[in-house]
Amino acid sequence: MKEISITTQFTVFDSVKELPKDVYSLMEEAVAIRKKAYAPYSKFRVGVAILLDNGQIILGSNQENAAYPSGLCAERVAVFYAGSIYPEAKILKMAITAASDTNKTTTPIPPCGSCRQSIAEYEIKQDIPIEIYFMGEEGEVNKSASLKNLLPFMFDKKFL
């Protein structure tokens, strides 16, 4: 038996105002689309803005359904849309923000496990890391230089 240790590294910004100008703009777009989320059941709204290497910005918000498994998280809405409209483009940066209709979210909220796996597929496919910035409604913003920080044991096609 042996033990392994995995270290991840994040950059923490005290507020959205500390972000680089381009990321600040991307996060503003994520906040705007978050407000358009369809979340009548969870009352938890998520918005995502993705910057592609062709300069396009793709937006996504969570879309719920009374049959819960049929809904889709904001991150996957945006990633799958980017992949279908711009299949050759690379995802450079993602800005993610989440807010609750019932209480203020002040802790950075990362993508869920399903979204991490979906983002991993694209990071592996494009062979360059995706910068991921995530926050709650207000407060600190966390930056991960790669999805690998959020999902160090990624499952990919080499296991198939």
Tokens 């080499």, residue located:
158
Query: Is 45:99 a contact under the CB 8 Å cutoff?
Result: yes
Q: Give catalytic status of residue 88 as yes or no.
A: no
From 29, 75, 123, 131, the catalytic residue: 75
Backbone angles phi, psi at 80, to 5 degrees: -70, -35
**131-135 and 91-100 strand pairing:** parallel
Which string of DSSP letters, residue by residue, matches 83-152? HHH-TT--EEEEEEEEEESSS---S-----HHHHHHHHHHHHHHTS--EEEEE-SSS-EEEESSGGGT-S
Distance between CA atoms of 97 and 24, rounded to whole angstroms? 12
Return the active site residues: 75
